[in-house]
Structure 1
Amino acid sequence: MPSTKSDDERLAQMGHVQELRRDYSIWSLGSLCLCLMATWEALSTVIATALMNGGAPCLFFNLLISIICTIAIALSLGEIASIYPTAGGQYHWVAALSPPATRSVAAWFSGWINVGGQIVLTASAAFAAGLQTQALIILNDDSYIPQRWQGLLLYWTVLIYATSLNVWGSKLLPTANLLSGILHVTGFLAIIIVLGVMAPKNTASFVFTEVSNRSGWSNDGVSWLVGLLSAVYPLLGYDAACHLAEEMPHASRNVPLAMVGSVTVNGVLGLGYCIMLLFSTGPLEALLATPTGFPFMQIFFDATESAAGATVMSIIITLIAIAATAAGITSTSRTLWAFARDKATPFHGYLSHVNTSSQIPVRAVVLVMILQMLLGFIYLGNSTAFNAILSMAILGLYASYCIPIVYFLIFGRPKLQPYEFGPFKLPKGLGVALNLLAIGWLVLAMVFSCFPTIMPVTPQNMNYSSVVMVGWVVLGGAYYIIWGRRKFEVPVVGSAVGGF
């Protein structure tokens, strides 16, 4: 087993010194990714939208396709992460692979887009946990009338808890993530058993063959492709492993294994849960009309005929959303810290500071929380605008996945010598095929994630994700042109880092 010293030496070859504590094991890091993705839990929240865009068969087959393509993406990113194991992740990889003429701008925008995508993905987990808590009150108290400000306070409470765990419980984070991973798997088994035994069942034809279109799109093919969103969102966030690369030993091997392993495990769990959930759904109209606002709670209630039973089942999903928030703040803060370390952010000297006693970038952690809390004011004023910002997660993260794979395919794979690859290396022919599959899926998903999910389009149901994404890129572009390009210290690999 290579020593931590070899990890530190590898990091030094990429222009940085070891500042963070290497506390994570392959199991705790894999658990972090499992809970951050929360695939089967996320499927619970998108079930009604998926049924509108093509019905049950489309969700099942879209999810199956999405799992296969996401594994291809994880394998592609894992191979790059094995060569360049740094907390910067995507932007550092692009910097290492880019020609000198485009290196600065390509690396900087990759990092900017990735940070934005991670911030909103984590905010969406906290938001889900907060509103699900509010929904649990509705489930158990018919007289309760939910208020938007109450949802905001619950959202903030989740963020404060997750931040506190990251700052004051940092040494407990690996164990906390491992325990959350265990809950993720055991909770899945418990809910599957309850639904399998107690829920009224739909027919196999409903689940696998009866295609329907209630989205309002006149073209069934477009409706099906728009429904990709329901299969893409539950498979986001596995890049968190690469952002913890400086906090685990033998990162060149363990980071790719955590990425690919978490996607594979979550894919299997998600597919099994999808089938059981589709067999257990009641009428779509009843799901859409549920007073809780969460169709999965209605499914659990219909299965158990008990508010207490539905509450226990629902709490599992809410607890994982809270765990995902803590994991997301960990990953996002490391990306922001690494970006600041390379002088790519405003106040980079302040944000790149690492607390000497805890060896945690506390300032970056706190800033991530503050930015996410500020997003809550948008929800308080206009929930449509808030949801539009959260919907940028797919565009932001998928773009940050796509850019390094394209650069690796064009500039990395043909030019790197065998000894320059890390221990996680794909055969050349298979690697090229997986890169092409990953790029094709990423582009397809990004395009159709910008489409409205239902027609006709109104100001309330319009998909504003592309508008938010363009706004984020324009904001970043203005900063880069005015200040960033002069300060950004583009990370450059001094020598080959493979062969360890």
Structure 2
Amino acid sequence: MSDEKIDVDAPAYDTKGLPAPAVVEDGPIEGEVINVSGHKQELDRNFGFWSICAIGVVSDNAWAAGGGSLIVAFYNGGGPGVIFELYVCSLQLLLVNELRDLASIAATFFYVFIGASLAQCGQQWNCLAWIFGTASSTLWAANTIIAMYSLYHPDYTPQRWQIFVVFLVVCWMDASVVMFGQRILPKLANLACCVCVGGVFITIMVCAIMPATTGQGYASNSFVWTEWNNQTGYTSDGFVFLAGMLNGAFAI
């Protein structure tokens, strides 16, 4: 046997005299986070259970949008218009989702094809809904800021270009928070959730207590459920009802 010592730290070479490639073990590196898709987690996971729940509450928050457009909704039929238009929009959304799910699980190829088509159309409309919903919510925030400023400055006359400027400022503020404020997004979500839930409670209490304390009393049963009041200027009540469904759809 040869007494030649082998340097275990020396690089290995193949039969052609070239360095052999390093051996890479399969599986994740120790301490590396792998997401559910099997890929390496690129961004830090800052959201926890409660912050994710807060995102769900804030994203599906409909009372603020519906309450903010309530003054406009009263023109489309009054109290019955507000209630039944929202009810029809909710029922329509439920039926569309159920039909899409039933079509997607049908056994025949025809119904599967129809279900896939409906699902694809639903995804496209959902994307457009998020785009236009974000724009409309931002515009609503801009109008609210202008209205709050006008409330404390009676001599101020709002201009359209001013609303557009505030709209752009709010858009860039939101985009900046999303791009550069990743660490504070969970805290903002929790704060927004508390504001939403607290706002619902305060709004309900104000609407329930104030009519009795001011002496004006509550609205009658017929005013809420049966008295149709068309103040839009259109003669067709059917068209007014369909147009008023936009308020319910915006709230949903």
Interval containing the TM-score (normalised by the shorter chain): 0.5 to 0.7
Which residue of structure 2 aligns with residue 57 of structure 1?
80
Greater share of residues in helix: 1
Match of 2:47 among 16, 19, 24: 24
Aligned: 1:208 with 2:225: yes
Supply the AA of the counterpart residue of 1:219.
Answer: S
Per-residue CA deviation, residues 374-409 of structure 1 (Å, 9 max, x unaligned), is xxxxxxxxxxxxxxxxxxxxxxxxxxxxxxxxxxxx
Supply the AA of the counterpart residue of 1:124.
Answer: S
Flag structure 2 segments of 5+ consecutive residues without an equivalent: 1-31, 103-110
Aligned: 1:170 with 2:182: yes
Distance 2:60 2:196 in 1: 11
Q: Check the 8 A contact 1:56/1:211 in 2, yes or no.
A: yes
Distance 1:78 1:162 in 2: 34
Supply the AA of the counterpart residue of 1:35.
Answer: V
TM-aligned CA deviation for residue 77 of structure 1: 8.7
Aligned: 1:218 with 2:235: yes
Supply the AA of the counterpart residue of 1:28.
Answer: S
Supply the AA of the counterpart residue of 1:228.
Answer: M
Report which of the two structures shows the higher radius of gyration computed on alpha carbons: 2
Distance 1:221 1:148 in 2: 32
Per-residue CA deviation, residues 224-251 of structure 1 (Å, 9 max, x unaligned), is 233211111111xxxxxxxxxxxxxxxx
Supply the AA of the counterpart residue of 1:47.
Answer: L
Residues paired across the two proteins, number:
205
Flag structure 1 segments of 5+ consecutive residues without an equivalent: 80-96, 236-500
Which residue of structure 1 aligns with residue 244 of structure 2?
227
Distance 1:205 1:130 in 2: 36
Q: Check the 8 A contact 1:53/1:226 in 2, yes or no.
A: yes
- Give the CA RMSD over aligned residues: 3.6
Q: Residues 388-467 of structure 1 correspond to what in structure 2 (within 5 A)?
A: none
Aligned: 1:45 with 2:68: yes
Query: SS of the residue aligned with 1:8?
Result: coil
Q: 1:116 to 1:46 in 2, by over 3 A?
A: same
Supply the AA of the counterpart residue of 1:193.
Answer: M
TM-score, structure 2 as length reference: 0.66
Supply the AA of the counterpart residue of 1:8.
Answer: N
Query: SS of the residue aligned with 2:77?
Result: coil
Task: Report which structure shows greater RCO (CA 8 Å, sep ≥6).
Answer: 2
TM-aligned CA deviation for residue 160 of structure 1: 2.0
Supply the AA of the counterpart residue of 2:57.
Answer: L
Which residue of structure 2 aligns with residue 152 of structure 1?
164
Query: SS of the residue aligned with 2:229?
Result: coil
TM-score, structure 1 as length reference: 0.36
Per-residue CA deviation, residues 426-460 of structure 1 (Å, 9 max, x unaligned), is xxxxxxxxxxxxxxxxxxxxxxxxxxxxxxxxxxx
Percentage of identical aligned residues: 26
Q: Check the 8 A contact 1:130/1:151 in 2, yes or no.
A: yes
Q: Residues 291-302 of structure 1 correspond to what in structure 2 (within 5 A)?
A: none
Q: 1:224 to 1:111 in 2, by over 3 A?
A: closer
Q: Residues 97-136 of structure 1 correspond to what in structure 2 (within 5 A)?
A: 113-136=125-148
